[in-house]
Amino acid sequence: MTIAEPTRATAIPERPSIDGLEDKWAPVWEEQGVFAFDRSILDERGREGVYAIDTPPPTASGSLHVGHVFSYTHTDLVARYKRMAGYEVFFPIGWDDNGLPTERRVQNYYGVRGDASLPYDPDFTPPREGGEGKSVKAADQVPVSRQNFIELCDILTVKDEETFEDLWRRLGMSYDWSLSYRTIDDHSRATAQQMFLRNLAKGEAYAADAPGLWDVTFQTAVAQAELEARDYPGHYHRVAFHRTDADAPVFIETTRPELLPACVALIAHPDDERYQGLFGKTVRSPLFQVELPVLAHPDAEMDKGAGIAMCCTFGDLTDVTWWRELRLPTRSIVTRTGRLLGEAPAWITHEAGIAAYEGLAGRTTFSARAAVVDLLRESGDLVGEPTPTQRKANFYENGEKPLEIVTSRQWYIRNGGRDADLNAALIERGREIAFHPSFMRARYENWVGGLNGDWLISRQRFFGVAIPVWYAVGADGEPDRDALILPREDQLPVDPAAQPAPGYDESQRGVPGGFVGDTDIMDTWATSSLTPQIALDWRGGEGDAGSLWSQIFPMDLRAQAQDIIRTWLFSTVVRSHFAENTVPWHHAAISGWILDPDRKKMGKSKGNAETPEGMVKEYGADGVRYWAASAKLGTDAAFDIGQMKVGRRLAIKVLNASKFALSFGEEPAGVSGGAGGSAALRRAVTVDVDRSMLTALADVVGKATAAFDAYDHARALEVTEAFFWTFCDDYLELVKDRAYGGQGEAAAQSARAALRIALEVLLRLLAPFLPYATEEVWSWFHDGSVHRASWPVPAEADVPAGSVSPAVLAGLGGALAGIRKAKSEAKTGMRAEIARVTIAADPAAVSGIRAGEADLRAAGRVTGDIDFADAATLEVRDAVVVPVERTPR
């Protein structure tokens, strides 16, 4: 990096262009620290001087897509506005690089698979590199040790993050890059582990054996928030159970006959007349001959199937409810690999049952199902043939097979899913946050209100933050899961799978009297729910009154997309509620989705112009930002190349119009250097037309500011842009002749001064949206960055001569439009002269137009008389258009 050169007013190019501005200005902003957070503000103005933003760390192993560009731009708009409005903006960015998406990408990229049973190989070379996109079959993956696998994850994520950073910089994201973090770096891991230990100490985190959702492909537990209900084809099988007190069948219907050996009861609704006589009695299961009770529970659906269901441990979440509430025994047959137990379980005692099970042992649920159906058909217990059905099954959002429910020991953090008081408290926390738009709060409350269990944070994977726990091993060589060995906070981060427990030696691992490490890692959200703590250095700053953490937390704004309210937003609230008894931030800005032209959620990008890189190349960062900025928070938006083109045009227009406004040389009073026009400039504005324009501009400043303050960037843009276009089309055309000196020196000075004042205000109003074009223009006549200039205030447009109604300019614009229309209808060019014309309007409008008559005559090339007349609405008529001979050049 070279020594920073100060931004300097440069010559105005002959033909200004927006192409290449990203390469020109992004490095300058970095070198000059334009977006660097200056913590001395805390000494000068305290917390009031800071605006702190909590930004989602994008998944490093995915790819940044248009949806990211969309919502991250929204956040950047707020950051830039707040920065110009006088706040020192704390705006960090991180990368979320742990978790399953990274593992999957590493598997495919290098063709490897983690295997915890293998030893570390320091000389390992991956079989290949760069297998983008294509997945590698499990059989072709080379197994590697946990440590080797983690190293590959580390290499690839860093590589990915560099390309991401480059894109964010080109897009003009105004992060302070010195604050960036990775959720897998030592600081993040230590923070996550320390908070976990605090939660553990206070009973907010705990381990428990419980039935939970399990992905057999990834072989890990899955949390409620990661579920996805999908349509899944299946068959209803009508199966006969047999009463033990009578020779009579009881028919049930099930989509999962292979779970018959795991059946623990039959259950019907307590009000169901058909089964009143059966409650309390027992039946015998077909094939396996296990005696089972018939019980009543309100969750049984009377109108579904036979109205009576078999309860297995476990086929679905309803089974879990029944099992828990009716205190049924646990008879699991599905193992973590998705295969059935290898031997007949103890509860099957009948000889025929044991024999039947032999055909199922060790098979996948899919092949076991077919086998059970065959057996039922033989025994005559299958009634009719299976009938096809579509049902909803739970999937892990990244998985391909339906989830099984497996009993295992897992770590949880309480989240109100099993505790009504905590649930109410967390809903109340949500009400302390101002959601933008406000209806997004409903999503938060719906989710929290619908929780049915605590937050499962442990995953049986490789690349992530380790659960910082060891267990003492007893004299019998068995680990004692209640004898936790915990690290001190100053020892964090730790990896119990690789490091010995405190006070032990590595040689004591797994031996009697020694220790074992917990092999689980935390779910990604258990770390990213601490982004405020990570970014503000809670760990290093807790208890230090002068630290960023103690001075800034809670933050001002959480910005994110709507899909992760239930995960990221909620989990951050949970952590903050436990640790600090407060909300983590006061505002939440929620962006919508990007939809492709078919109104579907935008999938993976298809063409080059639909990748963020391609978009920026094609339309410029300003053009892409304009598209994102024109959509309101919380509203899904269409992927719209047309809007990017419009934004590109707007940026080009800014360059050209500015070139014109600045083409009259240095003003006599000199350049103000920042905040909107010196006193001398304002004194020079004496002409009504100019004063009218500035009055309208002051109104625009007020509206744009109010819109930004209400987190409505789209409205701020709309108001500013609308003014800017009429400013170019009408005002610039009207005053052009006068500014060139056509009406004398004083009149020219008024126009030039008004142009200069308006330009300074407009550039700053547009700066958050078009950071590159506005910075380029600003550099033509200012030192320093427009992005550190002060946000305009309406008073900047006040001139000593007094304000003039915006109606004057509007009336002149209308009159000019009428003249243009006459020329257009005469099919002449705009250079045609008007020999005579009548302008009819109400008296007030007429007097306004008369005040600017000289400008109107020049802009419309009116050489003859203008007759004024009375009319309710403005009308230009009886124009005599005189075409001009085309002069060959």
Residue numbering of the annotated binding site for ATP = 604
Phi, psi for residue 831 in degrees, rounded to 5: -80, -10
The least CB distance from residue 743 to RNA, in Å, is 15
Q: Across the strands, what pairs with 209?
A: 409
Token pair belonging to 642: 């047309």
The least CB distance from residue 725 to RNA, in Å, is 7
Q: Which is nearer to RNA, 489 or 875 (CB)?
A: 875
Give, for 101, the enclosing helix (H) or strand (E). Answer: helix 100-110
The least CB distance from residue 574 to RNA, in Å, is 17
Q: Which is nearer to RNA, 379 or 656 (CB)?
A: 656
**Distance from chain centroid for Cα 383:** 51
Task: Residue 55: name the closest of 67, 68, 72, 36 by CA.
Answer: 72
The least CB distance from residue 43 to RNA, in Å, is 40
Rounded to whole angstroms, the Cα distance separating 483 from 467 reads: 15
Contact yes or no for 86/790 (Cβ under 8 A): yes
The least CB distance from residue 699 to RNA, in Å, is 13
The least CB distance from residue 732 to RNA, in Å, is 4
Q: Which is nearer to RNA, 227 or 675 (CB)?
A: 227
Where along the sequence are the contacts to RNA (CB under 7 A)?
A: 15, 17-19, 224, 227-229, 392, 439, 442-443, 446-447, 450, 452, 562-563, 566, 593, 595, 597, 599-601, 630-632, 635-638, 640, 642-643, 645-646, 648-649, 652-653, 656-657, 659-660, 663, 715, 718, 722, 725, 728-729, 732-733, 736, 740, 817, 820-821, 823-825, 827-831, 873, 886
Q: Which is nearer to RNA, 137 or 827 (CB)?
A: 827
| CA trace torsion 400, 406, 410, 416 (10° rounding) | 80
Task: Evaluate the omega torsion of the peptide bond into residue 143 and state whether it is cis, within 30 degrees of 0.
Answer: no
Q: Which is nearer to RNA, 295 or 652 (CB)?
A: 652
Contact yes or no for 47/822 (Cβ under 8 A): no
Contact yes or no for 745/601 (Cβ under 8 A): no
The least CB distance from residue 872 to RNA, in Å, is 8
The least CB distance from residue 316 to RNA, in Å, is 10
Q: Across the strands, what pairs with 311?
A: 265
The least CB distance from residue 183 to RNA, in Å, is 23
Token pair 């990604």 in the structure block, residue: 524
Q: Which is nearer to RNA, 287 or 815 (CB)?
A: 815
Phi, psi for residue 781 in degrees, rounded to 5: -140, 15
Rounded to whole angstroms, the Cα distance separating 797 from 799 reads: 6
Residue 861 DSSP one-character state: T
The least CB distance from residue 676 to RNA, in Å, is 21
Token pair belonging to 78: 């707020």
| CA trace torsion 38, 41, 42, 46 (10° rounding) | -150
Coil, strand or helix at 41: helix
Coil, strand or helix at 393: strand
Task: Residue 149: name the closest of 182, 190, 111, 183 by CA.
Answer: 111
Q: Which is nearer to RNA, 18 or 552 (CB)?
A: 18
Give, for 752, the enclosing helix (H) or strand (E). Answer: helix 745-766
Q: Which is nearer to RNA, 185 or 721 (CB)?
A: 721
Coil, strand or helix at 549: helix
Q: Which amino acid is at 116?
A: A
Q: Which is nearer to RNA, 228 or 385 (CB)?
A: 228
Token pair 């939809």 in the structure block, residue: 595
The least CB distance from residue 68 to RNA, in Å, is 17
Q: Considering Cα of 748, then 754, then 757, then 759, what sign does the dihedral take?
A: negative
Distance (Å) of CA 282 to CA 264, 297, 677, 762: 11, 16, 91, 82
* Reduced 3-state DSSP string for 174-218: CCCHHHCEECCCHHHHHHHHHHHHHHHHCCCEEEEEEEEEEECCC
The least CB distance from residue 671 to RNA, in Å, is 19
**Distance from chain centroid for Cα 857:** 54
Q: Which is nearer to RNA, 110 or 214 (CB)?
A: 214
Q: Which is nearer to RNA, 53 or 223 (CB)?
A: 223
The least CB distance from residue 438 to RNA, in Å, is 8
Longest CA pairwise span in the chain (Å) = 115
Q: Which is nearer to RNA, 292 or 845 (CB)?
A: 845
Query: Rounded to 5, what percent of the chain is helix, strand, coil?
Result: 45, 20, 35
Q: Which is nearer to RNA, 243 or 715 (CB)?
A: 715
Binding-site residues from annotation: 604
